[in-house]
Amino acid sequence: MQKLYEEVENKNIVKNDLVDLTIGESLKIKAYPLSVLKKDDAFFFIGKENYDKFLFVISAGKENGLLNEFEGELIDAGKDVTVKKCNLSTKNRKAVQKIFPHTVPVVLGLCNSFGCGDRLGVANAGHIRAIKQSSFRPILAQQSIRELTRTNRTPDDVMDAAVWAVLQEGYKDGFGSDADHLKTFEDIDLMLNAGFTMFTFDPSEHVDNEADNYSEDQLKQKLNEIDWSGLQDTSADAAKRYVDMTFNISERLSLTIKESDFLRAYAKYGNAIAHIKKMYDYLASKADKDTFEIEVSVDETESVTSPFEHFFFANELNRLGVKYVSLAPRFIGDFEKGIDYKGDLNLFKTEYEKHLDITKYFGSYKISLHSGSDKFSAYRVIGSLKGAYTHVKTAGTSYLEALRVVAAKEPALFRDILDFCRDLYETEKRSYHVSADINKVKPANQYSDTELIELFNQNDARQVLHVTFGKVLTEKDSSGQFLFKDKIMKCLVENEETHYEFLEKHFLKHLECFK
């Protein structure tokens, strides 16, 4: 073990292909070499028996206090060597985190970061292999309350998967954890208790999407419905800050605020800002300020966030003392789920530059792009612009890569999944921003095995598969057995390296857009 540990520490091993280890006199274990760690006289690594993974703790002698920190099966390997085989459980994850600081998620702060949502809990190793080849820092534990509900997972499940992947891949450069799309105090408590460090507040239920269409009289009436106490403000004081004021943001962007702009911004976002302030104050009362960071999301709204509305939103958060690391506006064009950006890229660039200028004006946060899966053309535009920080958030694209593995390795299973998704699409699409035409996705028996794989390059099929993930992963038959989840997981476990290769290739395609 010592020799393998030194090889890893000296970076003489760069690929994480399983190796055969002989422990003591006769115990043989397959190990991920990059996972080998040492603390005092004990070695730790992730090993595999058949298709099952375990944490192995090896100690010379019979007594070692570290062994007692873990739940598992003691194995006498002879030669005065003790081995403990431990399940990859939440309790054992927490024990690892007490010993090895690099397995604890951190506050990433102002840097280019990439969110890698993992709905199945087996994708993060592939994410890490891609992110190590980029300048981005990863957010590995990332899940929204909506996704947790649809997949029947817990925050600890998400954190467990991320930490075990970090250990398996020997990743020591720091990773973040995103409690995504939080709407209530209960949401905050749930994710905080699992050790999450980034909290994305989603005030969409407090945004008035009709504000863009109101007359001036209607807007004035709406001003009476604003939570002014929550904003620690009055309408008169707010008007003094904005109406007929000019803000010189940059050489190319100057904002002169008319009364109608002021009224519309408050009607649209005033109550949302008050809600975010309440969420922030609640979180700050529960955790030390240097142990968390905040993202504010206004992307899941129907109307585009104008440059003034972005400025207004950021300015008001700053006035209220809300410290945030990133903000996700609703951009011009369409950021639909699972496919490339739809819209005029020249116009997108022009508008994005204005949003960048606003972040530079305040100098304290990065722009976040949600529904970030596969937005390659938009990312190439963003990658060409320098001088600001970006956060990208993905989730569905990793799930689609898992299904791509199923299509490649078990086409019969994938055919069943495809037909199941076709039947559900019209119902499941209601809570997503998608435009797939179900008529362009044929019944599965009309595709050859090769054509099944090609479906992952077709927008309609990608979205049909994307939005139905919840039912695919939770539906059970009459006997209480999962229809598909266990079969999908078995396929991914048995074809682990193929899964990682697909993920690495696909995420590098995202990351290379920013070079």
Q: Which helix (H) or strand (E) holds 470?
A: helix 469-474
The answer for residues whose C-beta is within 8 angstroms of residue 285's C-beta and 6 or more apart is: none
| CA distance between the termini of the chain | 39
The answer for residues whose C-beta is within 8 angstroms of residue 280's C-beta and 6 or more apart is: 201, 294, 322, 323
User: Which of 187, 233, 295, 401 is the catalytic position?
Assistant: 295
The answer for residues whose C-beta is within 8 angstroms of residue 352's C-beta and 6 or more apart is: 331, 367, 381, 382, 385
Strand partners, 138: 114
Residue 176 and residue 127 in contact, taking contact as beta carbons nearer than 8 Å: no
Q: If you ran DSSP here, which 8-state letter would residue 38 be given?
A: E
For the chain, what's the residue count? 515
Alpha carbons within 13 A on the beta-carbon side of 388: 26
71 included as an active-site residue: no
DSSP 482-506: BSSHHHHHHHHHHTHHHHHHHHHHH
Amino acid present at 488: I
Amino acid present at 202: D
Q: If you ran DSSP here, which 8-state letter would residue 280 be given?
A: H
Report the alpha-carbon distance of residue 87 to residue 2 in Å, rounded. Answer: 23
Report the alpha-carbon distance of residue 166 to residue 125 in Å, rounded. Answer: 7
DSSP 135-156: S-EEEEEEEEHHHHHHHT--HH
Q: Is the Cα torsion angle 242, 248, 250, 253 positive or negative in sign? A: positive
Q: Taking Cα atoms as reference points, which of 220, 222, 266, 224 lies closest to residue 242?
A: 266
User: Which of 118, 147, 180, 351 is the catalytic position?
Assistant: 180
Residue 334: phi and psi, rounded to 5, are: -115, 125
Residue 106 and residue 81 in contact, taking contact as beta carbons nearer than 8 Å: no
Cα-based distances in Å from 246 to 255, 350, 389, 434: 5, 21, 26, 38
180 included as an active-site residue: yes
Tokens matching residue 355: 């949003």
Q: If you ran DSSP here, which 8-state letter would residue 10 be given?
A: T
**Which residues are annotated as catalytic?**
180, 295
